[in-house]
């Protein structure tokens, strides 16, 4: 998936879906995403419908996320563009984007720019921010994260987008002395203003680490 080779990724995840004892639910979601990203959207929809049936670990955040994401495509046929976006989203949440090559990051950026679905615009900007951060285009990254923070539609469809964008933007602003205070404010906003979103505990750990490193640099 990191190489954007969706056919091989589909084959691997399908095998894991059928054979793994860990989380068939999660692997079913990844199988569907990669199948849709190859262009086989009808086949992908069939697998998206399997995700709910394979949901066994009710308290597992990854399975909860998979079911929530698959729900949309159970009801309507997915598009190739949205499946590619979903694959990039998984790479972002895995913290795998820094391991991607520059050419593949540029392909991901192009894919994100090709998304015009208003329901995922906040997610699109969050991912573009993360991609441009990896590419070293920090000014562009800041602008995309700012757009993600401001997108209110994501509160309905991708609740985690705004707090994660606040965190990402805050971390970038910590790197410049003149914007440290604003960066710290955004980290606190991400921590205190949002709740009940996917991978909340994971983000709180990152926020705590960022604030702790800031305290080491600037004793309170």
Question: Who contacts 56 (Cβ-Cβ below 8 Å, separation ≥6)?
Answer: 24, 25, 63
- The pLDDT > 90 percentage for the chain reads 79
Measured from the Cβ of residue 14, the count of other Cβ atoms closer than 10 Å reads: 18
* Cα gap 153→137, rounded to integer Å: 26
pLDDT single digits (tens) 116-136? 998 899 999 999 999 999 999
pLDDT-derived band at 142 (thresholds 50, 70, 90) equals: very high
- What is the dihedral sign for C-alpha 108, 102, 15, 61? negative
Percent helix, strand, coil in the chain (nearest 5)?
Answer: 75, 0, 25
Q: Where in the chain are the domains? A: 1-92
Using an 8 Å Cβ cutoff, are 62 and 23 in contact? Answer: yes
The pLDDT, as a whole number, for residue 60 is 86
- With tokens 């990669």, the residue in question is 34
Q: Which of 63, 43, 40 is nearest to 51 (CA)?
A: 63
**DSSP state for residue 5 in the 8-state scheme:** -
Average pLDDT over residues 171-175: 93
Question: What 3-state DSSP class applies to 183?
Answer: helix
Structure tokens at 157: 């469809």
* Cα gap 175→172, rounded to integer Å: 6
* Cα gap 31→62, rounded to integer Å: 15
Average pLDDT over residues 163-171: 97
* Cα gap 133→144, rounded to integer Å: 10
Structure tokens at 177: 């002395």
Measured from the Cβ of residue 6, the count of other Cβ atoms closer than 10 Å reads: 22
* Cα gap 168→209, rounded to integer Å: 13
* Cα gap 150→152, rounded to integer Å: 6
pLDDT single digits (tens) 89-123? 999 999 999 999 999 999 999 999 999 998 899 99
Question: Who contacts 69 (Cβ-Cβ below 8 Å, separation ≥6)?
Answer: 29, 86
Q: Which of 144, 137, 140 is nearest to 115 (CA)?
A: 144
Average pLDDT, the chain: 92
């Amino acid at each position: 998936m990191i190489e954007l080779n969706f056919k091989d990724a589909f084959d691997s995840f399908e095998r894991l879906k059928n054979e793994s004892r860990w989380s068939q639910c999660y692997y079913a979601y990844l199988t569907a995403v990669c199948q849709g990203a190859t262009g086989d959207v009808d086949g992908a929809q069939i697998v998206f419908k399997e995700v709910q049936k394979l949901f066994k670990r009710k308290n597992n955040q990854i399975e909860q996320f998979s079911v929530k994401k698959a729900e949309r495509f159970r009801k309507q046929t997915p598009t190739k563009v949205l499946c590619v976006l979903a694959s990039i989203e998984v790479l972002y949440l895995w913290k795998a984007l820094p391991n991607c090559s520059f050419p593949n990051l540029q392909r991901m950026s192009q894919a994100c720019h090709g998304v015009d679905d208003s329901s995922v615009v906040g997610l699109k900007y969050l991912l573009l921010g993360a991609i441009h951060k990896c590419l070293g285009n920090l000014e562009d990254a800041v602008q995309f994260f700012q757009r993600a923070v401001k997108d209110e539609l994501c509160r309905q469809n991708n609740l985690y987008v705004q707090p994660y964008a606040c965190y990402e933007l805050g971390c970038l602003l910590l790197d410049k002395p003149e914007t440290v205070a604003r960066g710290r404010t955004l980290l606190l906003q991400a921590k205190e203003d949002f709740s009940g979103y996917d991978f909340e505990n994971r983000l709180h750990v990152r926020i705590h680490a960022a604030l702790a490193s800031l305290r080491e640099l600037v004793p309170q």
